[in-house]
Amino acid sequence: MKIKQTIVAMFCIAILAVSCKKEQTEIATLAYQTASDSLIILKMDKELLLSPQITGKANRYQWIENGKEVANTATYTFKKADPGIYNIGFTVENEKGKTTLNYRVKVTGPYGEGVLLLSYTDETGMGNSSISHLDEDGTIQTNIFARANPGSFLSPEANNLYHFNNQYYITSSSGPNFLTVVDAQTMKLNYVVSKSGVSDVTYFATTDGKTGYVNVTNRRKTGLYPVDLTNKTISSTLLEGSKEVTLIPINTVNQTLVTAAGKQLIKVENGKVIVVNSYKENVSGVVKSLDNNYWVGVQGSATNKAKFVKLDKSNNGIDSVELEAKFKVPANGVLTSGGKDEYLYWQETSRGVICRFNTLTKKVEEFVDHAAAGILFATCWKVNPKNGDLYIADSPDIFSGGDPYSNLYIFDKTGKLKKEVKKAGNQISDIVFPQ
């Protein structure tokens, strides 16, 4: 009997030993707390607890942040005062080996999300420009540049809020700072360009942060003028071949500046103007639709219908769609898109109607009738690339001598008014969606 009990006991011990040995040699597994944890957006100075799910035995923990070890615990509290992209790796180790889970955290400044609204003037209609911020909760905060830079102000008559390489370039027609460059996350002032050979600076663009170009409202000096961002000067010399450039935003296509110049679509490469294509009528602009496709708008006339032309990677036309005669796609209708869906938008300025073209179905429709929506004079319209909503800034008293305030109307992709923001700025001239 004792022998039998001894054998049974030894058998149980053997099973337990095998079981323990098996448990000890299994590699630990890791999983995110939620599926979205691989890419996290967090505002600066906010804490984030990273607590991955661990299955199995772990003898050692290690957190690596941008190549540097920061903790040896099962969880890690992340907090940063500086905006940027942070790559964080978490590793667990036991006798069997190591397992790693990676996080990517985008830390944004106070203005790295939401909507930015550039005001042409102040509440008097004669003073400095400003920027408003509409946050994700719908709260509007005005004059954020002055808040971020006490004692400093934007120059009057701001037209363009251009984003490149985590900076905004803000133009001013009258100066003294014809170009003001700020940090895109915090609005902190980086530098200004106050030396300019031309006035009436309207739109700006750059593809390298070293050299840029502006166009101007001065009809005697139409065209593109080079901007030296290193020496902080705007040239008085017209870029040869750009005299017919239309006063609309300067586009960037495949890291190249592309814009309308009368009946031609031109691009700027190595400081030279190259004609991309010529058309029978004036070019209204070039914008991006889904899948990185680019479309050119060509204005209609009494003899030629308006049309949209799709470009391939070599800027050759590969599709062309004529519109009904009532649609003119005027250059001052400012062709725009969110760049991530099938819709292109513009204003039929003679009728006060925002229209849109569907690049998939090739259909055009009247989208928002200003009069029916209560919009008296639209000064800017842009599409939010995150959801396709159309934002229209209305400055109702712009010609009456009344208050220069602007109201903001937000329409969803069906044309339904989602929200109206009263007094969002003063003669809003540009709308930007931080990304």
Global confidence as pTM = 0.88
Check if the beta carbon of residue 434 is closer than 8 Å to that of residue 113.
yes
pLDDT of residue 371: 95
**Which residues, 6 or more positions from 33, have their beta carbon under 8 angstroms from its beta carbon?**
51, 52, 53
**Mean pLDDT of the 223-231 span:** 97
**pLDDT of the residue at 22:** 47
Encoded tokens for 92: 């667990």
pLDDT of residue 36: 65
The pLDDT value recorded for residue 25 is: 56
Residues 300 and 327: beta-carbon distance below 8 Å: yes
Q: Which residues contact 100 (CB under 8 A, 6 or more apart)?
A: 30, 89, 90, 91
**Percent of the chain residues topping a pLDDT of 90:** 85
Q: Can you tell me the distance from the alpha carbon of 155 to that of 157, in angstroms, rounded to the nearest whole number?
A: 7
> What average pLDDT does range 353-371 have in this prediction?
97
User: pLDDT digit string (tens) for 144-180?
Assistant: 999 999 999 999 999 999 999 999 999 999 999 999 9
Task: Kindly tell me if the per-residue pLDDT of 35 is higher than 70.
Answer: no
CB atoms closer than 10 angstroms to residue 42: 17
Give every CB contact of residue 257 below 8 A, 6+ residues apart in sequence.
205, 207, 213, 250, 251, 267, 268
Higher pLDDT, 19 or 279: 279
Burial of 388 (0-12, 13-18, 19+ CB in 10 A): middle
* 351 closest CA partner among 362, 367, 364: 367
Question: Which tens digits make up the pLDDT trace of 109-137?
Answer: 999 999 999 999 999 999 999 999 999 88
The whole-number pLDDT of residue 16 equals 45
Torsion of CA 197, 199, 201, 207, to 10 degrees: 0
User: Which tokens sit at 178?
Assistant: 């014809």
Query: What is the torsion angle, in degrees rounded to the nearest 10, for the CA atoms of residue 87, residue 185, residue 428 and residue 292?
Result: -30
pLDDT at 254: 81
